[in-house]
Structure 1
C-alpha cells in the first residue's frame, strides 16, 4: 500500500512486558525484523512493582529497571519498538490488520499477543466515584501521597500483601481486609506481614462502600461487612487500595480467538498457538496458573520460535522441530 500510515511486518508483537520483549529478542535473532507495539503501559505490570525478588540472577531488582533493561535488549537485537496502542485487531484473514491509536495501521503475516493483564476492581459505585481521589489499584504509583496517613488494602494474594507491606513505608497504619480467614499469599510474604507493627488484618470482611468528602473530593474511610454476621465496621483511612487480582487484557480478540477460564486466550498445550493459525499468545494473557515474570518471558521465547516456524512453513522454507531453519533441504525420495 502507498498509504504512509500503513506499516507491514512479517511479525507484529502486541504488548511490552516480559513476554513481549523476550519475543522481540528471539524473533530479532531469527531475522524476522519484528515490530513491537508497546501499548498503554510500556513494560506492563512490572513497571508498577517496586521490588522483584524472584527474577533469576537478581536477588532483588526494581521492576521498572528490569523492564528498561528488557526493552534495551530487544532494541539492541533489532526489534523496532513503537510507542502506540492497538485499538482493534482483525484476525479474519492474513495479513492480519491492527489499528493503532496513533492512526498507523499495522499489517502482519504473524502476530504475537502479549497484552498481559490488568487490575480487577470491586465494582462499587463509590469506588468508581473516588478513583484517583484516594482509591487506587497501584501502591507504587500512589503510596507516597499518604505519608503519615491511615490506609486500607483489600485482597488476600501476593499482590495484596506486597502492596500492604510497601505502603508501610508511608502510612501510619495499614489495615488489610480479606473476605476469608487465611491468605493465599506465599508463606514468606505472610510472615513479613504478620510481624509488621504497622499492619492490622481484618479477617472475614468485604468492603461495602467507600466513604469520603466532596469538597475537596477525598476518601475518609470504608464500610466493611462481616461475611457471616453482616455486622458493619467503619475503618477510617485516606487511601483505599484494591488488590484483588488481575483480569487478562483480551478485549482485542474476545470474539476472534478461543478463550477459557474467564477470558484467558486458549493455546494448544505445550505451544503458544491459538485457535487462529499465525496468531500466538504468551504471558499473563494466556496464563491463569503461574502468572510470573519468568514464565511470561519463557512463553515469549516459545511464541517467537513458534512464529518463526510458522512463517518458514508459509514461505516454503524447510524447518526443524525447534522452529529454526533446517540446515539443508532433505533429499527427495
Structure 2
C-alpha cells in the first residue's frame, strides 16, 4: 500500500499537519517516535498557546491534538525510522516494527532535542524547576532567583529575557571566557540583574523531591564544590535537530537543520516537506511549529492534487 502522505513526528507541527491532511481526506499515516508529543510532553503547564486562557498541561495539549487528527481519519503507528529513500517516488521508508512503507509525499516534523548536561537531578526535574526554554517558562519565576547554564549567544539572550521576571539571574559557565559574541556579552554584563559564576562546572541539580532548590558546581581550577541556591535552572547549551537518519538524503545546514525554500516548507526534494523545530532554530515555539505544520499540509496537498483542485474552505473554517 502506498500512502498519499506520511508524517514523521508527533509534536505540534506533525499533529497540526495531520489534522489538516486528514480533513482534506488524504488519510495521513503518522509515525510516532520514541517520545510521542515531542518536547511539550516534558513541559508541565503551557500558558502561551492561544485558546487556553487558564493554561493547559503540555501532555494534555498533545493528546488533544492527536485525538483531533484521529477524528478526521489520521492513523498512528509507533516505530523508529531507520532509513529513507527519497531518490524517486513513491518514497520508501524502513521503519522498525513496521517494515517498509511507501508514500507519495513525506512531511518531516521530527523536531529538535535540547542538549542536556547529563548530571544527576537534571532529567528527573524537568518541569519541576529545570527548563530548556526561557521563553516558555520564564513567567513562572517572577520575583525568584534563577540560574542559566551556558556561555553562548542563546544563553546570553535567555539570561536577559529572564530578567524581565526573575529578581536575579546567575549565569554558570564552565570556563572563564564566554563563547557568546561581544555584543551579546556586553548586553548581558550591562544588565544589573545578571550575576556570574564563571569557571564553574555543574555536577548535580538538587531538589526536595517537589522542586529545585539548588545546583552543585565544581570550580574548574580547584575542583572545590559549592551549592548555589536557586529557584529554577535553565539549561541553554543548544539543540540537536533530529535529522541523523536524513544525512546525505536532504539538504541541511552545518548544524543539521533541514533547509527549506523561504516562505514554504519545501525541501530540496519535491514532495518532501519539513516543519517545526527540525527546520527552525530561531523561534522553537509550539505555536510557530503548529503554523509550519499547517503550511506543510497545504504544500503537500498542493503537490499531490494540483493547485487548481484544492478547496481549503473546510480546512480553514
Q: CA deviation at 1:9?
A: 0.8
**Residue of structure 1 in register with 2:247 after alignment:** 254
Q: CA deviation at 1:100?
A: 1.6
Say whether residues 1:292 and 2:285 are aligned partners: yes
Q: CA deviation at 1:221?
A: 3.5
**Residue of structure 2 in register with 1:194 after alignment:** 167
Q: CA deviation at 1:206?
A: 5.1
TM-score scaled by structure 1? Answer: 0.70
In the alignment of these two chains, the number of paired residues is 276
State whether residues 85 and 92 of structure 2, in contact with CA within 8 Å, keep that contact through their aligned partners in structure 1. Answer: yes
Say whether residues 1:95 and 2:68 are aligned partners: no
**Residue of structure 2 in register with 1:273 after alignment:** 266
251-260 or 184-193, larger mean C-alpha shift: 184-193
Structure 1 segments unaligned to the other structure (5+ residues): 1-6, 144-150, 213-219, 314-318, 327-333
**Residue of structure 1 in register with 2:208 after alignment:** none
97-106 or 299-308, larger mean C-alpha shift: 97-106
Say whether residues 1:234 and 2:207 are aligned partners: no
**Residue of structure 2 in register with 1:158 after alignment:** 134
SS of residue paired to 1:45: helix
The 5 Å alignment of 1:1-12 reads: 8-12=2-6
Alpha-carbon distance in 2 for matches of 1:185, 1:324: 42
Alignment deviations for residues 100-126 of structure 1 (CA, whole Å, 9 cap, x no partner): 22143211111000000102145xxxx
State whether residues 48 and 136 of structure 2, in contact with CA within 8 Å, keep that contact through their aligned partners in structure 1. Answer: no
12-21 or 84-93, larger mean C-alpha shift: 84-93
SS of residue paired to 1:264: coil
Report the CA distance shift for 1:222/1:187 in structure 2 as closer, same or farther (over 3 A): closer
The 5 Å alignment of 1:7-22 reads: 8-22=2-16
Alpha-carbon distance in 2 for matches of 1:49, 1:209: 22
The one of 15, 20, 24 equivalent to 1:26 is 20
**Residue of structure 2 in register with 1:64 after alignment:** 59
Report the CA distance shift for 1:82/1:175 in structure 2 as closer, same or farther (over 3 A): same
Structure 2 segments unaligned to the other structure (5+ residues): 170-192, 206-214, 313-317
Alpha-carbon distance in 2 for matches of 1:268, 1:135: 37
Alpha-carbon distance in 2 for matches of 1:286, 1:69: 24
Alignment deviations for residues 135-160 of structure 1 (CA, whole Å, 9 cap, x no partner): 438612xx4xxxxxxx9x698x6179
Alpha-carbon distance in 1 for matches of 2:139, 2:79: 29
SS of residue paired to 1:271: coil
Alpha-carbon distance in 1 for matches of 2:217, 2:29: 45
Alpha-carbon distance in 1 for matches of 2:82, 2:73: 25
**Residue of structure 2 in register with 1:223 after alignment:** 218
**Residue of structure 2 in register with 1:216 after alignment:** none
State whether residues 178 and 202 of structure 1, in contact with CA within 8 Å, keep that contact through their aligned partners in structure 2. Answer: no
Q: CA deviation at 1:202?
A: 5.3
State whether residues 22 and 72 of structure 2, in contact with CA within 8 Å, keep that contact through their aligned partners in structure 1. Answer: yes
